[in-house]
Structure 1
Amino acid sequence: MRKHKQLALLFVFSVSIIMANTNPGSVDSTTVGKEKTLKEAYKDKFYIGTALNAWQIRGRRPEEIQVVKENFNSIVAENIMKSARIQPKEGQFDFSLADEFVKFGEENDMHIHGHTLIWHSQTPDWFFVGEDGNTVSKEVLIERMKNHITTVVGRYKGRIHSWDVVNEAIEDDGSFRESQFYKIIGEDFIELAFEFAHEADPDAHLYYNDYSMSNPRKRDGVVNMIKKLKDQDIFVYGIGMQGHISLGADLKEFEKSLEAFGKLGKVVISELDLTVLPSPWGDAGAEISDNYEYEDKMDPFPNGLPDEVQEQLSKRYVEFFNLFLEHQEIITRVTLWGVNDGNSWKNNWPVRGRTDYPLLFDRENNAKPVVKELIELASVQ
């Protein structure tokens, strides 16, 4: 069966390269839409999602929103539902943008995902500090966690279909991250977060989400953590594998993680983008606190991608989507982390000021040639 799929993949890619060379450049998204869109091609496979930023949610990027409506059937908020935005001061919740985000999803009949409830980053300082300026007790932090999760999840009960409950709690070596949540509460903060979220909305699908998930040691750490939670009858619906990958990403290790996580629940490819730029440390990581100074050699394509690099990007995306299709029985959603290249976070991380091309739509909101390839790939799987 795998041999037939590989032959089909080779055929699709070969045809696409011929077409791309015959008519180089981007394919207008409206042309693609007249034939078949991404969400139509994958509707019987898994959701095809994208992350929305504040400007899009506010309606200031109508051309980008049109791309979303035509091509995606699932949305997640890139930043506006993180705790620092939702509850910047204790007890002062700001749901204005989150409400608009959910309203947009409902009006367009989309799957809506919440990101994220508990994360060591972008959590306001008050969470961990008392009025006296000292670190709060375990009991106080647990109560603050419970209040935040219960309030946020409860507000959107039955409307937001799934949540990243805990984000990035495991280090690359498989150990627990020494976050404030961990230092004050211990590893039980993960169990408690899932309990509070499940109590607030028993029907919501709850995920653990992390990066570098093809790293074998991290894989083992996450597997051990999820097994322990399930042994305690904690409801964990699935695992989110952030897909921040590069041209050199190890497909075999990625598949091993897919298979390992699939034995524990459903899997989501939660934050997919494919950088074509060099990395300061190789193909690993998405720790946003890691930043490096700009150098020309780290920004090799400021004026556009050479054709050969565009072909490499297309080939790599097709290879990964072929893998996703082979495991579609365990994958519920594949979400691109942004709508177009221009609003991707990869332009500023890990080196600020670079020009990257990691998504499926270019800076003018045109579908790249790979979009047609992915649509054709779905038809033969």
Structure 2
Amino acid sequence: MKYLSVLSVICGVIATKAYAECWSEKLGYPCCSYSKNVLFEDNDGQWSVENDNWCGIPKGTSSNCWAEKLGYPCCSSSKDVLFEDSDGQWSVENDNWCGIPKSSTPSTTITKTTTTITSKAPTSTYNPNVPPKPALTNLDSIRDPAANCDISDSIKGDSLAKAAPFRMGVGLNGSDKSSSTVLSKKMCQLIAYQFNSVTYSNLMKAEHMLDKTASQNNAKNGNDMPVLKFDTIIDGLEFCQKNNVKMRGHTLVWHTQTPSWFFRTNFQDNGSFVNASKMEKRMESYIKQMLEFIQYYYPGVVDVWDVVNEAVEITNGSYDSSTGWNTRTKFDGGDNLWYKTMGADYVFKAFRFARKYADKNVKLIYNDYNTFMSQKTNAISNLIKKLKAENLVDGVGLQSYLNADWPNRNDYKSAIQKFSSLGVEIQITELTIKTDGSGNKFNNQATHYQQVFQIYKDLKKSGVNITSVTVFGLQDGYLFYSNDSTDTRLWDHNLKKKPVYNAIMKVLKS
């Protein structure tokens, strides 16, 4: 039954524990009311699944079932053998595979079956390769750091999403799941009113999505493909689905925040680097698992992906100029391990796999920073032309980390126009404008945001296909952090609108 990705079924339990009663209540899970099939065991106790959620099995009530070790329940009633392998005999109950206890006597043996297994997921065909959803966090069990903030003026009247001629997005901050923006009821309420798009700033990147232990166990069992876990993004996906908010997928392939062990033999820290063929298969597996999970449980929620992030470089000694688009080879003195293992073609292969597995309406984006610097503008344009020749790319993402006086706004505007001339969408993906340090810094900052949004609006009116603008964070002095000095955002530390908000709204409504 290894083809059923058993390890994928259990990968999320350690990091995601929701709220409940009994011994597992403190860890955030309900007790199992009827299931005794152990799908996972750790120092806390034994775990199973009921109603698509993890639950804790009351101590002393678990059963002995050979299938439990593989992540499946024992069959409670069915004795019809639908499949048999070296592990044992398998049947189906409640739309899920189950192992027939070895003491049972099968009544019917079927060597080949055409049975279609349906799923509780919002698609019509059961996909055994998609793991169950991790448990959602019960926000009632979380101390909301914004609980005392008065957001009344932000959830009535003006709305950025309603006023903008393009999708308006906001970054979901958080260095780990416990500090994720979507764990604040107040922040979620504000976002649902003001925005129609979100982007995880960190928690959808490979270092959070890859399950190291499960991947290593896969390798030990002869399957040298990665295992993903989805506990860090499940709450955000659920929020988006319930509130009709879109999510930008960020990001599939990036040389940063992708652990070195992912590129090494047996996923070991000290393993040798795998060859290009093996790494290509791992890349495909990673992209396939990511897209299948999200499209299976949350169809239509993520309708755009930053497929490759920051693959172009202009620093001398850190790029391969032979490709014609300055392929990044190094960053901060270290190797770009995608390039090291797969060569410059890793970018094209990532887009090919993304196009292969993405739903037909999903847009694929190349995303980068300092896109307005002429050498980088030209290199990215050359890359986009090559990708577009294979119908692999739909747009360019301009991160847009700006200072008060840099870059020159005309240079910034010209870069957008040049990318637009290639016939692709323009998405402003991580807009951030720093303050100037003066005593009047927030009013000055508001002027700069106003100027930049005027550029977007004028370009949109002229025919440039700007489809979204995302400000990369909700508030200054992010409340989930104990000491955050950020001052680049639209709301202050108490979730009160800054002058920036009103300046942007003035442009959008004019």
What is the TM-score normalised by the length of structure 1?
0.78
Task: String of CA shifts for 1:81-103, please: whole Å, max 9, x gaps.
Answer: 11111113233321123222111
Counterpart residue number, 2:171: 51
Which consecutive unaligned segments of at least 5 residues does structure 2 have?
1-149, 216-225, 316-324, 330-335
In structure 1, what is the equivalent of residue 373 of structure 2? 215
Q: What residue number does 1:342 align with? A: 477
Change (3 A) 1:257 1:29: farther
Q: 1:87 aligns with which of 201, 206, 210?
A: 210
1:331 corresponds, among 466, 477, 483, to 466
Q: Which of 443, 446, 453 pairs up with 1:311?
A: 443
The residue number in structure 2 matching 1:205 is 363
1:319-376 superposed Cα distances (whole Å, 9 cap, x missing partner): 000001112241111001111112399x99xxxx772310111111111122122212
Counterpart of 1:217, as a letter, is Q
* Gap change, CA 1:32 and 1:83, over 3 Å in 2: closer
1:89-104 → structure 2 map (5 Å cutoff):
89=212, 90=215, 91-104=226-239
CA 1:104/1:98 → structure 2, altered by over 3 Å: closer, same or farther? same
Aligned pairs for 1:56-135 (under 5 A) are: 57=180, 59-89=182-212, 90=215, 91-131=226-266, 133-135=271-273
Tell me how far apart the structure 1 counterparts of residues 495 and 508 of structure 2 sit (CA, whole Å).
22
Q: Which amino acid aligns with 2:477?
A: G
Q: Are positions 1:271 and 2:430 aligned together? A: yes
Deviation at 1:185, TM superposition (A): 1.4
Determine which of 138, 161, 166 is the counterpart of 1:39: 161
> Following the alignment from structure 2 to structure 1, what is the Cα–Cα distance between the partners of residues 468 and 178?
24
CA contact (8 A) 2:192 2:245 kept: no
State the structure with more CA Rg: 2
Question: How do 1:152-301 residues align onto structure 2 when only pairs under 5 Å count?
Answer: 152-157=290-295, 158-159=299-300, 160-173=302-315, 175-178=326-329, 179-201=336-358, 202-231=360-389, 233-249=390-406, 250-264=408-422, 265-276=424-435
Q: Secondary structure at the match of 2:328?
A: coil
Shift of 1:243: 1.4
Tell me, yes or no, if the aligned pair for 1:276 and 1:358 is still in contact at 8 Å.
yes
* Structure showing the higher helix proportion among its residues: 1
Q: Secondary structure at the match of 1:163?
A: strand
CA gap of 1:341–1:354, structure 2 versus 1, over 3 A, is closer
- Distance 1:260-1:58 versus aligned 2 partners, 3 A rule: closer
Decide whether aligned partners of structure 1 residues 32 and 88 sit closer, same or farther in structure 2, where only a CA change above 3 A counts. Answer: closer
**TM-score normalised according to structure 2 size:** 0.59
Q: SS at 1:314's partner residue?
A: helix
Amino acid at match of 2:447: K
Q: Which has the higher contact order (CA 8 A, sep 6+)?
A: 1
Q: Which deviates further from its counterpart, 170-179 or 78-87? A: 170-179
Give how far 1:111 is off.
Answer: 1.6
**1:122 is paired with a residue of what secondary structure?**
coil
Tell me, which stretches of 5 or more residues in structure 1 are unaligned?
A: 1-27, 278-299
Q: Does the 8 Å CA contact 2:182/2:235 hold for their aligned counterparts?
A: no
Identity %: 27
Is the Cα contact below 8 Å between 1:268 and 1:332 reproduced in 2?
yes
Give 1:35 deviation, angstroms. 2.6
**Deviation of 1:240 (Å):** 0.3
Q: In structure 2, what residue type is equivalent to 1:323? A: I
Q: In 2, distance between residues paired with 1:76 and 1:235?
A: 22
Q: Number of aligned residue pairs: give it.
A: 319
Structure 1 vs Structure 2 CA RMSD: 2.4
The answer on whether the counterparts of 1:340 and 1:362 sit within 8 Å (CA) in structure 2 is: yes
Distance in 1, matches of 2:156 and 2:205, equals 36
Give the match for residue 288 of structure 1: none
